[in-house]
Amino acid sequence: MQGDAVGLTAARPVGGARRPRRGLGAAAMTAFGLLLVAGCQSPATTAQVAGAVQKQLPQAKIAVEPAPSVMGVRPDATVKVTATQGKLTSVVVTDSADAALPGTLSADGAAWTAGAKLRLDTHYWVRATAVDAHGLKTDEVTVFSTIKPKSLLTTSISPLSGQTVGVGMPIVVRLSDPVQNRAEVERGLTVTTSRPIEGSWRWISDDEVHFRPRVYWPAYTTVTLKVALAGIDAGKGVWGTKDRTVHFTVGASMVSIVDVNRLHMRVYRNGKLARNVPVTTGKAGFLTRNGIKVVSEKHVLKVMDASTIGISKGSPEYYRLEVPYALRVSNSGEFVHAAPWSVASQGGVRVSHGCVGMSMANAIWLFRQTHIGDVVQVTGSSRRLEPGNGWTDWNVPWSTWLEGSAV
The answer to whether residue 40 is catalytic is no
**pLDDT-derived band of residue 47, with 50, 70 and 90 as boundaries?**
low
Q: What b/e sequence results for 317-338 when a residue is b if at least 16 CB atoms lie within 10 Å of its CB, and e otherwise? A: eeeeeebbbbbbbbeebbbbbb
Conformational region of residue 271, where left means phi above 0, alpha means psi within -120 to 50, and beta covers everything else: left
Look at residue 21 in the predicted model and tell me its pLDDT.
38
Q: Tell me, what DSSP letter sits at residue 394?
A: G
Write out pLDDT tens, residues 206-255: 999 999 999 999 999 999 999 999 999 999 999 998 999 999 999 999 99
Least confident of 30-34, 113-117, 335-339: 30-34
Question: What CATH architecture does domain 61-145 belong to?
Answer: Sandwich (2.60)
Residue tagged active-site, from 210, 247, 299, 337:
337
- 61-145 and 151-251 in the same fold: yes
Class of CATH domain 151-251: mainly beta
d(CA 178, CA 193): 28
CA distance between the termini of the chain: 84
DSSP state for residue 160 in the 8-state scheme: P
Please report, for the chain, the start and end positions of each structural domain, with discontinuous segments joined by +.
Answer: 1-7+25-55, 61-145, 151-251, 254-394
- Taking only the tens place, the pLDDT of each residue in 383-406 is 999 999 999 999 999 999 999 999
Residue 43's identity, in one-letter code, is: P
What's the rounded Cα separation, in Å, for the pair 203 and 210? 6
- How far apart CA 107 and CA 86 sit, in angstroms, is 13
| More reliable by pLDDT, 28 or 134 | 134
For 254-394, CATH number out of 3.20.20.140, 2.40.30.10, 3.30.1540.10, 2.40.440.10 equals 2.40.440.10
State percent of the chain over pLDDT 70.
86
* Averaged pLDDT score across all residues of the chain: 90
Catalytic residue, from 40, 123, 264, 355: name it: 355
Instruction: Using CB atoms within 10 Å of the CB of residue 395, give its burial: 0 to 12 exposed, 13 to 18 middle, 19+ buried.
Output: middle
Annotation marks residue 355 as catalytic: yes
For the whole model, what pTM was predicted?
Answer: 0.80
Per-residue confidence (pLDDT) for residue 50, from 0 to 100: 57
Q: Of 26-30, 115-119, 235-239, 306-310, which range is least confident?
A: 26-30
